[in-house]
Chain A
């Protein structure tokens, strides 16, 4: 223990006495470990931290699926849910959710809130109880008794000033009076970030439409029940329902997905790829610190030999050297916490909209422990080889040399191997980053089918208590559009039921008049209710026929416009114009197709075009519509004026957050942008570190070989001979590293192929350009010491001895 203390004191003194070496090593390690700390904090928050529910591993999403239509996880119909709930023996409880808009009025400015309606059992399912007040009671799920809500802590603070007196008070939502029963705990996030919870009553009307799927279901597996057992039973129930209700349930099954998988499944590969990338950066940083230690070890050879001469065993010397490495690593770890904290702030600022659980991001105790452990492992990684090699020096030779440092063969070989490894790792990262960047560029080149520039979007959700029928809803939309069109700077205005790349779409089965299709095999298409100017406002090109006009109202013949994908797939070789279709297998209303428009990306830029059909909003309106304003100035600057234009119609009608269409397009690419930015950044850091490593090794070698260079020049070597000698020495290592790196990249990029878009994992352009970039940087790193070597004065070099 006493000798360890001595080692620590001596190690500390050595580091203080060599401030330049210590600063470079600690900063390199701080950067490498810090980047790992930052990314681990994301991995920890998103992937590792247990979900904030009791026995969360038993929480399971229960979806419907229809594989024939390509839907692996689809919303559940209320009638099917009720049958599942009654017939299953594997869940306790099984609960359905419905996300609904709640318009808060009578409390100052009206506000559109997100409400989560839930069937009975929510609190048993999640294991979370209100912090204030009480949970719902069984009878409060019955029609007429369900006007009760439980507020999120954030809503309670924001709109009710955190007053406990709000309990049992009546609050008006969407024109109806609700009683506040409770407030959820601080920090608890209601599913989908909703502002409040309300009971979901499955009304006879809802249950009568078995083919309408819009509920989200989640259950808690009973103790001892496995996912496979539950899946088997639920599939059995679904099969029975399909036999019982062939019109609506043919082709439908149940699909159970663990909640954890549901939340993080999609982002896991990207996060693990980032974690691997940042691990590579640390390994490259370790390579540089190892090289620094080897260079410093050469100058300490005499000191080490003297220690040995005085009786220190090899183990004792290794311990001394490792203690110094550990001190460096721990100092690097301390810097890493700062770097990690900055990294976390940066990641928060960069976070894509669809990265889950980011609100839990931070430097937690697990992150601290990870950083500490990583620092120790890093110390061992970069410190072991130098300690072993330096402690192996020949005692007599070193002392005879009079203390002049000279590199051993082992040290030279290790340095060369480190450079090769650094180049190889950097190239793998560069290729990965190159593929991501090319994917992102391809994504940015995707034509979404509409022009997103200078378009403002804002939504309204009209409460059915006030806008009780389609006529009132249509009148509001029509008047609002007139007000919006009259605003200065607005070139055109339109309304649509769901904006492209915005909310989830409605999907209907499509029935073509005169055709018979086997049950369950009806085609389905995304459906939109639009105002006549919609296509013009979004500049969606008309291919054939016509778009809607003001004459397409409730008194006129029902019409529809379809997109090219639908025309191609449903009417191959036929002219769809004039054909009649129905939406929904039980619908009687027939629409005549009057036009074909270009395809539009509705889900995501990287998704395929779906079949789409449009109806005039005055023939089929929705209570929730989104206004679109094409402007000739910055669309965001019209937000206030547009809000006022809608408020002037109804002072109690809130408008959802205004966003530009470009923001929606940008958000659609945010996850990929996030990954590309980070992996690109890490690749650049890796490249710089590798270049520094190459420079360090070649420059050190030049310094060590000054005398030899002098001899060569005395023998008649020209400057170019020496220059090419040094350059060749460095580039041989680089080329070896590039070959290994390419092999590694070919093996590893296959693992990220699912993260790529329109780019092969073996994309030739990336595999050609990145080695060239790396070689160019490496050449520059070798060029500087090579130039210095070529300027060696042979006289000075020979005196060097």
Chain B
């Protein structure tokens, strides 16, 4: 059993399908995916390149919509939500960690981290407090006034993690978070995620590296848009 997972279902997907249309070609990125993520779970989505991992993560993060199937977030269907409501959920419930960090180059580390709170309308004093806390948590408080270009890749990803954490989201979605890092920095980031999970965070991570997938409680294997296998890490 997963160490922190509760029985409360955060996400439930049933028969989820995603089809891309390019000219006259139909590409089935996802075909009938069933997936459930419980609160406090650390889930890894693994599979070869082009298997639909990132598409699934985008749908999970409400950046994209499924062509067919059901997606329930906290038991509420997300189909039919307008753009504003989706943006509100992304802002309050989901924290994104991207492969290429996606920090905004013109903003300082601190400004990058407080950005989700800005969109939430949080007052300045509280924003400052929470952003500082998030930076402390990832060990980047001392770099708050720096620009992203002044940081190493590993440091940038730590800042990205702080940005994902700052709004106390329901779930962290990480898309190949170590993909642009060397092994040392990759390990450090994985350790950071592991620590967050131990603190109770729900994490869903896409990775093609089995070494990192093993950090999760459970791994869902995708192939050609279908879930072909689920493995559980046994806690010794």
Contact = CB atoms under 8 A, between A and B. Distances in A.
A798 B83 contact: no
**6 closest Cβ contacts across the A-B interface?**
A716-B91, A711-B102, A716-B119, A716-B90, A715-B116, A795-B63
A712 interface: yes
A794 B98 CA distance: 13
Contact of B119 (A707, A717, A801): A717
Given A795-B58, A798-B63, A798-B98, A717 B87 contact: yes
A213 interface: no
B154 interface: no
Interface string A753-773: 000000000000000000000
Interface string A712-755: 11111111010000000000000000000000000000000000
B120 interface: yes
A43 B100 CA distance: 61
A713 B88 CA distance: 10
Interface of A: 707-708, 711-719, 721, 794-795, 798, 801
B137 interface: no
A712 B116 CA distance: 8
A715 B58 contact: no
Interface of B: 58, 61, 63-64, 83-84, 87-88, 90-92, 96, 98, 100, 102, 104-105, 115-116, 119-120, 163, 167
Nearest to B61: A714
Given A708-B104, A794-B63, A716 B98 contact: no
A716 B121 CA distance: 11
A415 to B, nearest CB: 14
26 contacts: A708-B104, A708-B105, A711-B102, A711-B104, A712-B104, A712-B119, A713-B87, A714-B61, A714-B63, A714-B90, A714-B102, A715-B115, A715-B119, A716-B88, A716-B92, A716-B167, A717-B87, A717-B91, A717-B119, A718-B88, A719-B83, A719-B84, A795-B63, A795-B64, A798-B102, A801-B100
B146 to A, nearest CB: 16
Contacts of A795: 58, 63-64
A715 B86 CA distance: 11
Contacts of B105: 708
Contacts, number: 52
A711 to B, nearest CB: 4
Given A712-B115, A794-B63, A798-B63, A718 B102 contact: no
A634 to B, nearest CB: 64
B84 A715 contact: no
Nearest to B88: A716
A170 B163 CA distance: 105
A798 B61 CA distance: 13
A795 B98 CA distance: 12
Contacts of A717: 87, 91, 119
A794 B61 CA distance: 11
A798 B87 CA distance: 15
Contact of A718 (B63, B84, B104, B115): B84
Given A711-B104, A795-B63, A795-B64, A718 B119 contact: yes
B217 to A, nearest CB: 25
Contacts of A798: 63, 98, 102
Given A716-B88, A718-B84, 16 more contacts: A707-B102, A708-B104, A708-B105, A712-B104, A712-B115, A713-B90, A715-B115, A716-B87, A716-B90, A716-B91, A716-B92, A716-B116, A718-B88, A719-B83, A719-B87, A801-B100
A715 B64 contact: no
A271 B171 CA distance: 70
A721 B116 CA distance: 11
Contacts of A715: 90-91, 96, 115-116, 119, 163
A790 to B, nearest CB: 10
A708 B119 CA distance: 15
A717 B87 CA distance: 6
Contacts of B92: 716
Contacts of B83: 719
